[in-house]
Amino acid sequence: MSDVKLSSLFSLEPIEEGLYRGQSWDLGFRALFGGQVLGQALSAAYQTVDANRVVHSFHTYFLSPGDAKRPVVYDVEIVRDGRSFSARRVKAIQGGKSIFYMTASFQVPEPGMTHQKADMPDVPAPEDVQSDISFYEDNIDKISRTMREALAYHKPIDIRTVDAANSYHAQTREPMRYLWLKARDPLESDSELHQASLAYASDYHFLSTSLQPHGIAVTDKTLRIATIDHAMWFHRPVDLNDWLLYAMESPFSGGARGIVRGQIFNRSGELVATTMQEGLMRQIESKGSK
């Protein structure tokens, strides 16, 4: 069992109506991990909708880097409550400055026409893939000091990247990546918690998939990489107590930006969620470059 509990990240403090405060985890990155803001903003929006409504999509923009050493305040605006759908806008604030916006849509679950064209990729089972944490511990000299100090905060999600070693080698590869993920400690049967947790995990290793065709390792010191926007659609109920396969691909990069698409499957091969993200990918050739 890990010491850091995933559910604690989404236990927001109510400040007043529509305002909530979330504590931050320092994962050892240059800035606040985007997945934290995704999950906490979704949790804040959930506080303002009826219990019978479930999020089916959200769209977000990251406006400026967050500070992992400071809490984040979430300001939720009630945009609309209809018979079947509710819409919310969430602003994330640090130091009086907006760092992130989310628009989320919730629906009362109902039956409907169903199809799935996407097939689950054929990859090794999670039991046959080394956990990222074990990989980091075996390659401790290859990660930064701040990352080493923050490893405890990476443990709540058990992530197992297929062929993880490639992340540390500057070699040209297809812009595709596969990883298994699930909660390391069992989560309560709460759809809000499972969706927020999956939103959090959806930002792991995502944008860096766009680097693979260019033979640039994510650890390259000349690299500046940051999320611009992130969208997510939930198709089926999420159970993060069991393994989910996250299949990522990057169809395009250019203009110092890369775009990636993700498909998340349960072990039965059902498509659970879809993600899209665009981000900055810039190499700094000299100290004076911008």
Token pair listed for 47: 């506080």
* Catalytic residue flag (residue 277): yes
How many Cβ atoms from other residues are within 10 Å of residue 170's Cβ? Answer: 13
Closest CA to 258 of 284, 231, 274, 280: 280
Annotated catalytic residue within 209, 227, 263, 275: 227
Closest CA to 244 of 271, 261, 264, 273: 264
Annotated catalytic residue within 158, 203, 212, 263: 203
Annotated catalytic residue within 40, 195, 263, 277: 277
* Catalytic residue flag (residue 75): no
Q: What's the Rg (C-alpha) of the chain?
A: 19
- List residues with catalytic annotation: 203, 227, 277
